[in-house]
Chains A and B, each alone.
Chain A
Amino acid sequence: MKRFSIAALATILIFAPLAFAQTQDRSSAEEETLKKLDHSWLDAEKRLDIAYCEKFFADSYVLVFPNGQVYTKKQWLDVLRGPDHPVITFLDPEDIKVHLHGNVAILTDHTTLKGHDSKGNSMDGEFNVFRVVIKKNGNWQAAGVVMNAIAAKK
Chain B
Amino acid sequence: MKFAYGLAATFLVIIATATLTLGQTPNESGASDEAGTIAVMDHIWLDAAHNRDPGTMEWLFAKDFVEIHPGGEIVDKKEQIDQIKDPTRQIKEIHPDDIDVRYLSSDVAMLLDTTTIRGLSGGVDYNGTYKVIRVFVKEQGRWKAAGAGIAPIKP
CB of A28, distance to nearest CB on chain B (Å): 14
CB of B66, distance to nearest CB on chain A (Å): 5
Contacts of A130 in B (CB 8 A): 66, 68, 133, 147-149
Instruction: Name 26 interchain pairs, CB-CB below 8 A, sorted by A.
Output: A64-B131, A68-B129, A68-B152, A70-B112, A101-B62, A101-B137, A102-B107, A102-B108, A104-B107, A106-B147, A108-B74, A127-B72, A129-B68, A129-B149, A130-B68, A130-B148, A134-B105, A134-B110, A144-B135, A146-B68, A146-B150, A146-B151, A148-B70, A148-B71, A150-B71, A151-B72
Count of residues in A whose CB is under 8 Å from the partner chain: 33
B153:A104 contact, CB within 8 angstroms: no
CB of B69, distance to nearest CB on chain A (Å): 8
A112 to B147 Cα, complex, angstroms: 22
| CB nearest neighbor in B for A151 | B71
**Would you list which residues of chain B between 46 and 105 have a CB under 8 Å from chain A?**
62, 64-66, 68-74, 102-103, 105
CB of B106, distance to nearest CB on chain A (Å): 9
Contacts of A134 in B (CB 8 A): 103, 105, 108, 110
Interface centre among B108, B129, B154 (most CB of A within 10 A): B108
* Residue among B102, B108, B129 making CB contact with A62, cutoff 8 Å: B102
**Would you list which residues of chain B between 137 and 155 have a CB under 8 Å from chain A?**
137, 139, 146-154
CB of A70, distance to nearest CB on chain B (Å): 6
A121 to B142 Cα, complex, angstroms: 47
CB of A121, distance to nearest CB on chain B (Å): 15
Total of A-B residue pairs, C-beta within 8 Å: 116
* Residue among A64, A103, A104, A132 making CB contact with B151, cutoff 8 Å: A64
* Residue among B70, B71, B146 making CB contact with A99, cutoff 8 Å: B146
A14 to B139 Cα, complex, angstroms: 28
A146:B131 contact, CB within 8 angstroms: yes
CB of B74, distance to nearest CB on chain A (Å): 5
- Assuming the contacts A99-B147, A102-B137, asked whether A68 and B153 have C-beta atoms less than 8 A apart, the reply is yes
- The verdict on A143 contacting chain B, using a C-beta distance below 8 Å, is yes
Contacts of B62 in A (CB 8 A): 101
Q: Which 10 A-B pairs have the closest CB atoms?
A: A130-B149, A146-B149, A68-B153, A128-B72, A151-B71, A150-B72, A101-B137, A67-B154, A60-B102, A104-B108
Contacts of A114 in B (CB 8 A): none
Contacts of A48 in B (CB 8 A): none
CB of B39, distance to nearest CB on chain A (Å): 16
Contacts of B74 in A (CB 8 A): 97, 108, 128
- The verdict on A149 contacting chain B, using a C-beta distance below 8 Å, is yes
A56 to B3 Cα, complex, angstroms: 58
B72:A132 contact, CB within 8 angstroms: no
B137:A104 contact, CB within 8 angstroms: yes
A66:B71 contact, CB within 8 angstroms: no
A64 to B62 Cα, complex, angstroms: 23
B68:A66 contact, CB within 8 angstroms: no
